[in-house]
Chain A
């Protein structure tokens, strides 16, 4: 993202309100919730653009995600305190904007957080309404699901120890124009942000792999024999995973009389392993 030079003369600055963040900076009188919404939208747009990049910057993504979480947390706390006070639309809406109420839609959903969601279609001349027009107001649900779905696709980071937490099933792509909370998404915590930052093992880091971490509670002694573990070789993509899995389990060729008996034992362990590998 190229840095835009802010070479504007002081006199032109306020007229040239095309820059929404410019409005934020030069207009400290903006209501707090509006400011917060501005910031939140910028964060989401940035996270979305992260998705476009082949290899997003982890540092940057962490900072943006933390900002989103912080705002989310604030909104949650606020809504739990103020309850229905916001519903009557007195606090967040500036008086200048109240005049151009024509296109305002208030969502009447019971979720207290969604009280902050206002679809502002007004085409008022007021500078603040210009800001609000350019806003894409997002509900808490959409926010969390947006983060998680955007970053879930960022399957770019691989690491030594595979994540024990399986990546959740697809939620469907998020469209760029995030609309009101019409979509019935589950509230996913914003913490699913980095679940997609890693895929499992890599062959490059064999030397200091820590298998013990994942498999420490599994007794692998029984698998040292020729136990038929073919179903366990994962149907999932990377051949790298197969290599790693086969190592501790030692798919051997030698036959053993006791194989079948051992097979029956501890199916729960198998289930556990299946879960990890297949990512239920």
Chain B
């Protein structure tokens, strides 16, 4: 399962020769998402911009460029806002992007910041009309008196122009910060989740949403748990799951009632008493939850591990994969520098046979569920020249450090890979390392 070949490293808005230490904070990538076909890859950044990459079609003329991703469209999705009532600035950082399945020539995606979700339409224009009756070609209006004949405008080809326009704005429904959005399998509704509530929206209706989960206690002083992620089931449009900061997942059925405060299933793994520490609760907080494509499994990411659950078994996960167990002895330092609060995401491959998640030092990990093999790779400029083969990396935990290994204390905790995405059909992955996007592909001879 050797993933190899780098196609592109892309730093939107910055000179690629600049060192990473001097990049603009606004360029930090905050979300990565392939669309349903995998031909489009969207990234959102801290500056509120969305950049969409499109996979180049195979062509005999450029055989080496098969399947390269090039910039397709860039637009400003969210602007910083100011809430006058609270005297607070609302960050424009894009927290999540979710694509809608394609139904016509245009592409639609949902992008959200902390408070507002927007539906964007991305459409191509490659023809323009020539031969208007009332206008000259340069745009000047013709004198109607002079017009003696009528003609039908003709469509002429033009350079491809990709336009993004906001079609819906879903605002003012969240008091707390939105952490997740998820499109329902009915393709008509979607859910949005903040720290304490989950709302269900209809894609056509922007002035109202249904609150389906509310864990806010009557007395805020009793608050001990927040919602950290939520996702709709891929096939059953009445089912969704949400994870909490206490390491639990709740599966809810919307048919049960208007308010899904009562869960249908409750997933929690009992804590291993030998691993108990002051930070046990913090590291158990789930940062991401993802259903498998087949809908039978659920994957959760907590600080040190990834767990795969069977949707029908609530007592314990099916599989647990240690991402960076060597950090367990460093928890206090990681708490002090706030790294312990980093929210890593995780993703499935198209066939649900492998999972991927990020770590520190620009490392990311992939686990094969069938062979139980795992690999650590690095997304960095040095090791990622185009068409280079990635070398597996290893972190040394013991005393003797072998050549090519890196010791735990040398890890750079500023270089974290929080966002990764896997192509829905092929072995192509997108990895966001701070302000750089790396796309890797399985080498095919």
Contact = CB atoms under 8 A, between A and B. Distances in A.
Interface of A: 1-10, 13, 19-22, 24-25, 28, 35-36, 38-39, 42, 54-55, 57-60, 62-63, 65-67, 69-71, 156-160, 163-165, 189, 191-195, 197-198, 202-205, 207-208, 238, 240
B330 A194 contact: no
A62 to B, nearest CB: 5
B414 A71 contact: no
Contacts of A59: 195, 226, 228, 245, 285, 341
Given A58-B195, A157-B220, 19 more contacts: A4-B413, A7-B411, A9-B409, A10-B409, A19-B333, A25-B332, A55-B86, A55-B88, A59-B245, A65-B224, A66-B281, A67-B281, A67-B282, A156-B86, A194-B221, A194-B223, A203-B85, A208-B211, A240-B85
Given A1-B338, A240-B85, A191 B222 contact: yes
A60 B338 CA distance: 9
B219 interface: yes
B337 A4 contact: yes
Interface in B163-186: 172, 175-177
A165 B332 contact: no
B208 interface: yes
A3 B339 contact: yes
Given A13-B409, A194-B221, A207 B208 contact: yes
B337 A3 contact: yes
A60 B343 CA distance: 11
A6 B411 contact: yes
Closest 6 CB pairs between A and B? Answer: A24-B332, A21-B336, A194-B220, A21-B332, A191-B221, A21-B333
A194 B195 CA distance: 14
A19 to B, nearest CB: 7
Contact of A195 (B196, B220, B413): B220
Contacts, number: 145
B374 interface: no
Contacts of A208: 211
Contacts of A193: 221, 223
B176 A58 contact: yes
Contacts of A203: 85
A39 B278 contact: yes
A204 B85 contact: yes
A25 B225 CA distance: 27
A212 to B, nearest CB: 14
A238 B226 CA distance: 28
- Most chain B CB within a 10 A radius of its CB, from A4, A25, A28: A25
A195 B175 contact: no
A67 B416 CA distance: 25
B175 A160 contact: yes
A38 B245 contact: no
A61 B173 CA distance: 22
A78 to B, nearest CB: 14
Contacts of A70: 278, 281
Nearest to A198: B220
A158 B336 CA distance: 29
Interface string B405-445: 00101111110100000000000000000000000000000
B279 interface: yes
A193 B335 CA distance: 20
Contacts of A19: 333, 336
Nearest to A239: B85
Contacts of B223: 62, 193-194, 197
B175 A10 contact: no
A229 to B, nearest CB: 24
B42 interface: no
Nearest to B396: A10
Contacts of B107: none
B281 A38 contact: no
B306 interface: no
Given A63-B285, A66-B224, A205-B172, A156 B332 contact: no
15 contacts: A2-B414, A4-B413, A6-B330, A7-B412, A24-B332, A42-B332, A57-B341, A58-B226, A60-B341, A159-B216, A191-B222, A192-B221, A194-B221, A198-B220, A202-B175
B17 interface: no
B160 interface: no
A48 B85 CA distance: 24
Nearest to B416: A3
Contacts of A9: 409-410
B409 A62 contact: no
A4 B414 CA distance: 7
Contacts of B172: 204-205
A32 B277 CA distance: 11
A163 B228 CA distance: 23
A156 B220 CA distance: 13
A68 to B, nearest CB: 10
Interface in B131-157: none
Contacts of B208: 207
Contacts of B412: 5, 7
B103 interface: no
A3 B219 contact: no
B338 A7 contact: no
B19 interface: no
Contacts of A3: 337-339, 413-414, 416
B278 A25 contact: no
B251 interface: no
Given A6-B330, A163-B220, A42 B85 contact: no
Contact of A21 (B211, B245, B335): B335
